[in-house]
Amino acid sequence: MTFFELNIDALVHAARADQQPSRLFSAAEAIAEQVIGFRLFTIMLFDSQRFEVQRLHSSMPAVYPLGGRKKKAATPWGEHVLMQRKVYRAERFDEILMMFDDHETLRSLNIGSMLNIPIAYDGKCIGTMNLSHEEGWFTPDHERLGLLIGAFLVAPLMQLQQQSDCDLTKK
């Protein structure tokens, strides 16, 4: 088996295992670290009613804790990633500065580039997988690998989004 096949195999096995979604999220993180690389990795669920994202997984929970929310209404990033379902790749810190309110925290972590992968199903964004690294790190090949890894996140994000929708209707 090639290195690529081994990584896909690991994702397949993680998706079939118990202890979801944390097991699959952790596998996606480990594989993204091997094939793409990052300093920070997060998975966010998109709440289209509130137009915000909520953090479900973080490689740095002390800095970016689970449950954290970010409002994305009327932002260029929200339009690009959440509405148009396009990958956002920032190659330099000045691109991060323009798009993210938490840019000072990112700067303190020596993060200078970002790769945001929209996780989509049935023509709608349901979440994002986000990788951050030093300036100039990410390439178009990383975008393609990120989309492939992100495809394995559709099922758990759909399930969590449906649970979230049910919770909202109960209020």
Contact (CB, 8 A) for 66 and 58: yes
| Full-model pTM | 0.92
* CB of 106 closer than 8 Å to CB of 100: yes
CA 46 – CA 81 distance, rounded (Å):
11
- pLDDT tens digits along 74-90: 899 999 999 999 999 99
Find, among 69, 15, 23, the residue nearest to 46 by Cα: 69
CATH number, domain of 144, equals 3.30.450.40
Q: Tell me the longest C-alpha to C-alpha distance in the chain.
A: 50
| Radius of gyration for the chain, computed over Cα atoms and rounded to the nearest angstrom | 15
Range of the structural domain that residue 141 is part of: 37-170
In a domain, 46, yes or no: yes
Query: Does any domain span residue 6?
Result: no
In tens, the pLDDT along 79-124 reads 999 999 999 999 999 999 888 888 899 999 999 999 999 999 999 9
How many distinct structural domains can be found in the chain?
Answer: 1
Whether residue 8 lies inside any domain: the answer is: no
For 156, phi and psi rounded to 5 degrees? -65, -35
